Structure 1
Amino acid sequence: MPPATETWLVRKRDGRQVEFHTGRIADAIRKAFRAELNLAEGQPLDPETEADVERIAAGVAEEIAPFAASGPVDVEKVQDWVEIALMRSGHYRVARAYITYRAEHAKKRALQRTEVTQDDAAAAPRLSVTLEDGTRIPFDEARIRRRLAEAARGLERDVNVEELTEEVLRSMFDGISPAELDRAMILAARSRIERDPAHDTVAARLMRMVIHNEALGTHKSDPEDLDALYRHQFEHYLIDGVAAGRLDPVVRTFDTPRLAKALKPERDAGFKYLGLQTIYDRYLLHVEGRRIETPQFFWMRVAMGLASAEGADKSDRAIEFYEVLSDFRFTSATPTLFNSATLHPQLSSCYLTTVQDDLEHIFKSIGDNAALSKWAGGLGNDWTNIRATGSHISGTNGKSQGVIPFLKIVSDAAVAVNQGGKRKGAVCSYLESWHLDIEEFLDLRKNTGDDRRRTHDMHTANWIPDLFMQRMQAGEDWTLFSPNDVPDLHDLYGKAFKERYEHYEALADSGKIKLSRRLPAVDLWRKMLTRVFETGHPWITFKDPSNIRSPQDHCGVVHSSNLCTEILLNTSREETAVCNLGSINLRRHVVEGPDGEMRFDYDLLAETVRTAVRMLDNVVDINFYPTKEAKNANTRHRPVGLGLMGFQDALAALGISFASDEAVEFADESMERISYEAIRASALLASERGPYSSYQGSKWDRGLLPIDTVDLLAEERGEEVNVDRDARLDWAPVRSLIAQHGMRNSNVMAIAPTATISTIVGVAQSIEPMYKHLYVKSNLSGDFTQVNIELVKELKDRGLWGADLLEQLKYYDGALTEIADVPEDVKARYLTAFEVDPAWILACAAKRQKWIDQGQSLNLYMSAPSGKKLSDIYIEAWACGLKTTYYLRTLAATQVEKSTVDVNKFGVQPRWMKNKSESDNVAIERGVVAPAGSPASPSPLGGASPATAIADETPLPASAVQEGAACDPNDPTCEACQ
């Protein structure tokens, strides 16, 4: 505090400048305390209060001194500082008394004045801030400027603090709350992210201040102070969380001081703005709206929940888990992040069920859907058992209405039970392609027709046998049956399915099966592709590779995939399959080598995978199971799904283009390493904890690893699978380990979409190419302009980034291809999704699939789809051994705001957006069967593409082109597997 004798010049309300002693601040504060305490004038305060007065006065004097040194200070400003200081100290009632005192004296002055002077006008009521308890204090512009300056520290070259301050001031209104002020500052920075990603850092820092103020009670800018505060508050957070019923009391049984010491508050700075906003809005625990978690408390809470069953080692394991989570090396799926260490630990992502052909089980299954969805589970339902429309019902001697009316109920139930109010309910229904209701099933997502036979809020997927694909390519017929006439087809695949299917066709030809229908397979294929293009559904998934390559072929059948098409597990009346998910962040494993070159750290990857598999295995024992069938399946087989994200980011960091042989090889090598370490980790867990109970007889038990099953698929198909079987690693030690100890988990790998968790850690989702380098992302937190920060950094380093390039990036819809100023090597490394030929995406996926025991959520991107192109790409997906595909993404209208762009400035539309024809009225149905031996386009998969069933090259109508619905990079609703 400045010495008590120090004096300032103070400007009075009439303009006079007088000497003002600092001791008068304490006198004013004492008067306010006396007024609040109802003490007489001159009556002394108690020693504790007097000390508080002196401390507050010292703080005010210290804050005013720098301003007073440069000239007179307005008396009103001095009084403003006193009010703010009282509020900061928690003396709200005293501050209110002081404010009342000022207001009363202002009224007296107003009554005494006979004319309005210029000075009086300046003293008119100013903007105020309304605190939570209703107290109003003067708005402090300097405080806003200081906070923005702190958030922009080190970024002054790219961030104009005065401009941000002016933006905040423009949004001010009288009575604004502190939360609204915080939001105004964040929005000011956020709105400028497209201009320079440095503003993302500013917005993230401001968001951290908000979180720290809520969870810690204050924000510390000094790292040492923040570190001490974090550790001190950790135990209080646990106590408060348990007392409020938000945390499981088990958290109090950990070695809290050790966990507090292990916290790394500096890792809060690793979040990008959108990641912080996302966890603030939906993941950080709160009590009556106030967040009680910081980001590092959040990661430690997840780690503690996953370590809670580790016995005496649980504190050590919690720290191990925290390390990989907080360092962004691995992230558990959303349900685990929501519910770990809470009183209701539903940690699993998706559930798969098979519906039986009886009314009781149909409605039990719908009820199970509701129970599973309530606790944040995504659903995959197999409906193939249900008899077709017109089939006989023996009990009533009537005719069935088929499967469609029941699916309408499923769709409505998904809307009604919206995952505990946290996100939209989501379900996908599967039907095999020989079911007599398949054509109506294809129409479920159409916007025309009888709305009672439409399911606008439910996803659908085709479960396609190999035999259909072979007949379609050969131009042969396909027969549709009702399941009650062919009851064993549902459980058969490969050669056994073919033999039995042909037997039933013979029975139909002889009149012994009356309810059937025959049509050209290509006609049904054409309709499948038409609906995928028009509505995004049903997804194209393949029954035979999913079953032939399943490790669990000895004890059941894979009847469907899940909501996001990556999980492939057995289901039955007694078993609802459950998937427990998490994803490796590949970008975090790209490091700078001793020579300065970027390289992939496979040793670090091995360490991450081992820890991740242990975390996922723990979910099985900790998890809350909404149905007994789910618990039965998960505890018996213990499947987990380790996936990956940030594939595109890793490629860019390594200097590799997505559309290159190097990218395909990286997909192969990285997935082999993940597979090697994941299988090894499960075998090591089996040595520690024992194998899963249904291990005997599995492919693992028979010495068959995922790579070995590609040949099995080729043998069952009777034709080659278009992918190599090359390996880089010595798998003998892993095989030996399995032979000795077995496997802890029936399945260990599955690549989920990761749209939400990849946003949290700030990388491209899953195995996707970069969507665009500049676009608007929507989620439940709002609309956010996204710019590729790594790209902008590289362009700035090369002296290329500026307003003109930004304008061009907007014009060309977030892609670089047509921007002349960008070097070709940069364009090659930063291709966007619609600039990458889908054959490259398939090539990478095929290389991965040979190492994976489950599947991949594989989106396909086409900038100018035609009937032939669609047919080619899906046939190739089947031919190269993929088990499933996910959304078809076709180019939509721009997502980038162009109101400020001169559309005449940059010339033509990007080449990759052009259609080859101006025709806009030709749909897939115009296609014709390609003759045998049609010329095939080159494929990075090697060899020629299979002969196509649809040869029309005419682009599809631009008016119909859409990017699909849920789970795409811009969708705010579907996150069930992510």
Structure 2
Amino acid sequence: MAQDITQNAALSSLQVMKRTGDLVTFDPQKISVAMSKAFIAVEGDNAQASSRIHEQVEKFTQLIAGTFLRRMPAGGVVHIEDIQDQVELMLMRSGEHKIARAYVLYREEHARLRAAKEKGISKPHPSINVTHPDGHKLPLDMGRIETVVSEACAELAEVDKQIIINDALKNLYDGVPADGVSTALMMAARTLVEKEPNYTYVTARLLLDNLRREALSFLNIADEATQHEMDELYPQAFRAYVAKGIELEQLSPELAEFDLEALGAAIRPENDNNFTYLGLQTLYDRYFLHCDDVRYELPQVMFMRVAMGLSLNEAQRTERAIEFYNLLSSFDYMASTPTLFNSGTRRPQLSSCYLTHVPDDLEGIYGAIKDNALLSKWAGGLGNDWTPVRALGSYIKGTNGKSQGVVPFLKVVNDTAVAVNQGGKRKGAVCAYLESWHLDVEEFLDLRKNTGDDRRRTHDMNTANWVPDLLMKRVFEDKDWTLFSPSDTPDLHDLYGLAFEARYEEYERKAELGEIRLFKKVKAKDLWRKMLSMLFETGHPWITFKDPCNLRSPQQHAGVVHSSNLCTEITLNTSADEIAVCNLGSVNLAQHVTDSGELDEDKIRATVTTAVRMLDNVIDINYYAVPQARNSNLKHRPVGLGIMGFQDALYKSKTPYASEQAVAFADRSMEAISYFAIKASSDLARERGRYETYDGSLWSQGVLPIDSLNNLIEARGEKFIQVDQSSTLNWDALRDQVQTQGMRNSNVMAIAPTATISNICGVSQSIEPTYQNLYVKSNLSGEFTVVNPYMVRDLKARGLWDEVMVNDLKYYDGSVQPIERVPADLKALYSNAFEVEPRWLVESASRRQKWIDQAQSLNLYISGVNGKKLDITYRMAWLCGLKTTYYLRAMGASTVEKSTVDRGTHNAVSANAAPTTPTAAPAPTPAPAEKPAKDEFELDGEAAAVPLACSIDNPDCEACQ
């Protein structure tokens, strides 16, 4: 005992230097504890081993302490590493090799944890190391993971951060790369989306962690950052981004002239939390600027870049940029894809649509094809008017030969669209239009068929019929129709309404008298039947109506609308020296409905006023690939303000799509947008001046879009039109204002498909009904589980959302109709696109069309399709005054039996039944209709071709991008 006291007194004169440089008194008990842990790790802590461990540890501790006393009898300083080396040496000399190994591992683990803490890792994982881009490894930081996942789940109901962390850890391994950790977290969260829609926001926020790491490290701002830290880092990243983008020659040097401090301070980092996973992944894959495949543009930086690019010509650039940024960043309004791609860059091609006119000569034809290539290169969708080109068999004076018609040239157009793919951002896309009296129209209808001579097929481009009212009248009256070559009837294409009818009938008389030799007489119903048959079989040509587009055009005095565009919503004049251009953007209607389900007209006014200003700015800033486009756009200044999120707005107001209330809502909402858009353009005219060709337009005559319906009624006759002309706002005052102040833009409104920008904003596309309530969406960014959050919320409120409901929805392809326990009111509210009768789509479109000076991309969904349904639907579209229609989404009456699911479990809820894990939701492509019985697809008793359904959500389809 005396010896121990003497030794302890001597040891008190020794000091230990820690790794931090601090000095502490030598304490043998710490050596004892460390060795005990090593012994226990190998031999366990049972009673039999305990005695031996105690004896050995006490002996070894005294020996080690004695070693240092002999070295420094008068006291001194010992480094902690020297003590641990002596422990290892003592264990090895004593033959305790397993214990020594355990102690070495113990030292290494503690060294790893110390190094991790020195690197700022708050809670190092005991066994998982992360490999960083430079190759060094550090422990997985569980503290940071908990912070990131907690931020991702913040303020979201019914999400569980611990489930995400636990599931992610199951998929991590020692040495996992840094981005693999984020991927594991995202995968864990995205698998839960089908059970709780809020997990799509969680997944997006976890994806943001990857984006921040990638961009901030490239800009030398930080290696990584949490969302909370972005309050400080976003302004720094923004300034560094502008400098780097200009250095890389991707951004316009003019951006450096803005007040970057003010713009950086205006950025709202919290708006990053509004993205769904699909929306953010789409931005990352296709929109963010990048260098060597590294994205250095963050979401709010991108919106600010777009806003700056649209403010370049403003007197108060910085203030306007902030105004524009706030509108974009809030998702109240979204600019079109080309504007998001290119605003603020060195080549600001911001326009969405180009309409071209193809002349009837070889130089003009190939000139038009060249224009297609140049326009497509810079991300514009194309609509080509091919009606002027002479038909097959027409006389060619120059060669004394005969024409091969339109079709061979369309083959070249098809291949050009494939070859010029818009810089790899999306496929080139073009639509060819042909008027329905053209002698080549029957072969034109066959262009998308998979049979026949492939040299006369165009499998990659779109086609559309340009249908005059006279053809529709003759279909109704069961009369003949005559096909001509435009080389014999050169003025027909420029005529419409009663003037067209008179001249067309004159040409028919000439044909009967033998004055025109190249013509063909068919039954109008036969041609109509083939148009519908091919539309059903191949999805093309779309059906668009010439006369409403022209009779209601504000620009009748300045030319003729010869076609629509790629997506059938633009109706602008074209000619040899004018390629029509339209600049698009869409109001997010869902953001303009109050919690009580009412339209917020004050907010609509504010949004639309700023949006029209942004669209008008596009015209002056835009890069024009061909001079005819610049000429047209600067002369007429057309823009196309549309809407998206219509279905979401109905959900918020608890209104079924298939209802009179929905039709009334379509009417009221479009009236408000029309009113404020026209007013905004008129106010801009007062500030900036009228567009060049204003005088003589319908605007100048006080004829607004709602008034132009009278032109159509007068020309067509009341027998052939059924439209509502009611209104609720003070249109007389607006007419007076327009006639007094003028208009800044020849055209103001058009409803585009918004397929991609609606994904970015996380709302339903355009004016579309919900496709399915639960499905897997496939596009160029991958596959994404999509579940209707409104439906889930309502089912949860009634205690109906459970594993069985999820499984039932998968079995029934996202439909609630066959699920017995879903109440009738929810079945009505959550009817999917194929469960809404087409008449509701057409009627709502008709109510919107009366307010729009251009058109709308109207997809028609028809289930159990047959010839009679198609005939009724498209006749109704014409009778209701629609200008155009877009894709036909057809689903056959029969479906494939799902033999892999036990039907007996559906709708069964048992207290004793164990919950089952549902399988992945199937991809949502409507099944092709089975071969119909003879009378399934008929018009007046004659069978049409065997149908194939038009695929939806096809990543190669321009409409889905």
Superposition TM-score, scaled by structure 2 size:
0.84
2:293 counterpart letter in structure 1: G
Q: Distance in 2 between matches of 1:226 and 1:802?
A: 37
Match in the other structure for 2:109 = 77
1:518 is paired with a residue of what secondary structure? strand
Contact 2:570–2:582 under 8 Å retained in 1: yes
* Deviation, structure 1 residue 922: 2.7
Are 1:272 and 2:276 counterparts? yes
Are 1:480 and 2:479 counterparts? no
Match in the other structure for 2:132 = 131
* Deviation, structure 1 residue 242: 1.5
Q: Distance in 2 between matches of 1:784 and 1:834?
A: 21
Match in the other structure for 1:188 = 188
1:523 to 509, 517, 526: 526
Closer/same/farther in 2, CA of residues 510 and 172 from structure 1, 3 Å limit: same
Q: Distance in 1 between matches of 2:895 and 2:955?
A: 15
Structure 1 segment 893-908 matched on structure 2, within 5 A? 901-906=901-906
Q: Distance in 1 between matches of 2:347 and 2:931?
A: 56
Are 1:973 and 2:956 counterparts? yes
Closer/same/farther in 2, CA of residues 485 and 843 from structure 1, 3 Å limit: same
Match in the other structure for 2:47 = none
Structure 1 segment 843-922 matched on structure 2, within 5 A? 843-891=843-891, 901-906=901-906, 920-922=932-934
Are 1:578 and 2:581 counterparts? yes
Contact 2:213–2:225 under 8 Å retained in 1: no
Are 1:151 and 2:163 counterparts? no
Are 1:542 and 2:545 counterparts? yes
Instruction: Please say which of residues 731-740 and 342-351 is displaced more in the overlay.
Output: 731-740
* Deviation, structure 1 residue 509: 0.7
* Deviation, structure 1 residue 744: 0.4
Q: Distance in 2 between matches of 1:395 and 1:212?
A: 64
* Deviation, structure 1 residue 826: 1.8
CA displacement, residues 240-286 of structure 1 (integer Å, 9 cap, x when unaligned): 22222221111111112221221111111111111111111111222
Structure 1 segment 203-242 matched on structure 2, within 5 A? 203-216=203-216, 217=222, 220-221=225-226, 223=228, 225-242=229-246
* Deviation, structure 1 residue 231: 2.4
Are 1:355 and 2:358 counterparts? yes
2:473 to 470, 473, 477: 470
* Deviation, structure 1 residue 167: 4.0
* Deviation, structure 1 residue 166: 5.1
Match in the other structure for 2:61 = none
* Deviation, structure 1 residue 799: 2.0
Structure 1 segment 744-893 matched on structure 2, within 5 A? 744-891=744-891
CA displacement, residues 707-737 of structure 1 (integer Å, 9 cap, x when unaligned): 1111111111123421121110111221121
Structure 1 segment 434-833 matched on structure 2, within 5 A? 434-592=437-595, 597-720=596-719, 721-833=721-833
Q: Distance in 1 between matches of 2:851 and 2:826?
A: 31
Q: Distance in 1 between matches of 2:439 and 2:109?
A: 81
* Deviation, structure 1 residue 16: 6.1
Closer/same/farther in 2, CA of residues 5 and 472 from structure 1, 3 Å limit: farther
Contact 1:527–1:925 under 8 Å retained in 2: no
CA displacement, residues 944-975 of structure 1 (integer Å, 9 cap, x when unaligned): xxxxxxx78x9x99x8442x24xx4x132345
CA displacement, residues 96-122 of structure 1 (integer Å, 9 cap, x when unaligned): xxxxxxxxxxxxxxxxxxxxxxxxxxx
Structure 1 segment 265-414 matched on structure 2, within 5 A? 265-311=269-315, 313-414=316-417
1:421 counterpart letter in structure 2: G
Contact 2:128–2:173 under 8 Å retained in 1: yes
Closer/same/farther in 2, CA of residues 660 and 188 from structure 1, 3 Å limit: same
Contact 2:250–2:346 under 8 Å retained in 1: yes
1:461 is paired with a residue of what secondary structure? strand
CA displacement, residues 849-901 of structure 1 (integer Å, 9 cap, x when unaligned): 01100000000111111111100110010011000000111127999997974
Contact 2:130–2:174 under 8 Å retained in 1: yes
Q: Distance in 2 between matches of 1:419 and 1:565?
A: 20
* Deviation, structure 1 residue 558: 0.4
The sequence identity of aligned pairs, in percent, is: 54
Contact 1:333–1:977 under 8 Å retained in 2: no
Superposition TM-score, scaled by structure 1 size:
0.83
Contact 1:152–1:161 under 8 Å retained in 2: no
Closer/same/farther in 2, CA of residues 307 and 73 from structure 1, 3 Å limit: farther
1:922 counterpart letter in structure 2: K
* Deviation, structure 1 residue 77: 3.3
Structure 1 segment 413-432 matched on structure 2, within 5 A? 413-432=416-435
2:932 counterpart letter in structure 1: D
Contact 1:541–1:884 under 8 Å retained in 2: yes
Q: Distance in 2 between matches of 1:249 and 1:15?
A: 68
2:905 is paired with a residue of what secondary structure? coil
Closer/same/farther in 2, CA of residues 404 and 159 from structure 1, 3 Å limit: same
Match in the other structure for 2:258 = 254
Closer/same/farther in 2, CA of residues 669 and 77 from structure 1, 3 Å limit: same
* Deviation, structure 1 residue 138: 5.3
Where structure 2 has 5 or more consecutive residues not aligned to the other structure, the ranges are 1-18, 43-52, 55-77, 80-103, 217-221, 909-924
CA displacement, residues 35-65 of structure 1 (integer Å, 9 cap, x when unaligned): xxxxxx99xxxxxxxxxxxxxxxxxxxxxxx
Contact 2:755–2:959 under 8 Å retained in 1: no
Contact 2:338–2:351 under 8 Å retained in 1: yes
Q: Distance in 1 between matches of 2:354 and 2:594?
A: 37
2:415 is paired with a residue of what secondary structure? helix
Q: Distance in 2 between matches of 1:661 and 1:896?
A: 34
Contact 2:158–2:196 under 8 Å retained in 1: no
Structure 1 segment 7-86 matched on structure 2, within 5 A? 15=40, 74-84=106-116
Instruction: Please say which of residues 340-349 and 716-725 is displaced more in the overlay.
Output: 716-725
Where structure 1 has 5 or more consecutive residues not aligned to the other structure, the ranges are 20-40, 43-71, 90-122, 929-950
Closer/same/farther in 2, CA of residues 923 and 384 from structure 1, 3 Å limit: farther
Contact 1:10–1:73 under 8 Å retained in 2: no
1:591 is paired with a residue of what secondary structure? coil
Q: Distance in 1 between matches of 2:415 and 2:954?
A: 20
Match in the other structure for 2:72 = none
* Deviation, structure 1 residue 308: 1.0
- Look at both structures and tell me which one has the larger radius of gyration over its CA atoms: 2
Q: Distance in 1 between matches of 2:536 and 2:886?
A: 12
* Deviation, structure 1 residue 446: 0.4
* Deviation, structure 1 residue 172: 4.1
* Deviation, structure 1 residue 76: 3.9
Closer/same/farther in 2, CA of residues 228 and 893 from structure 1, 3 Å limit: farther
1:407 is paired with a residue of what secondary structure? helix
Contact 1:526–1:925 under 8 Å retained in 2: no
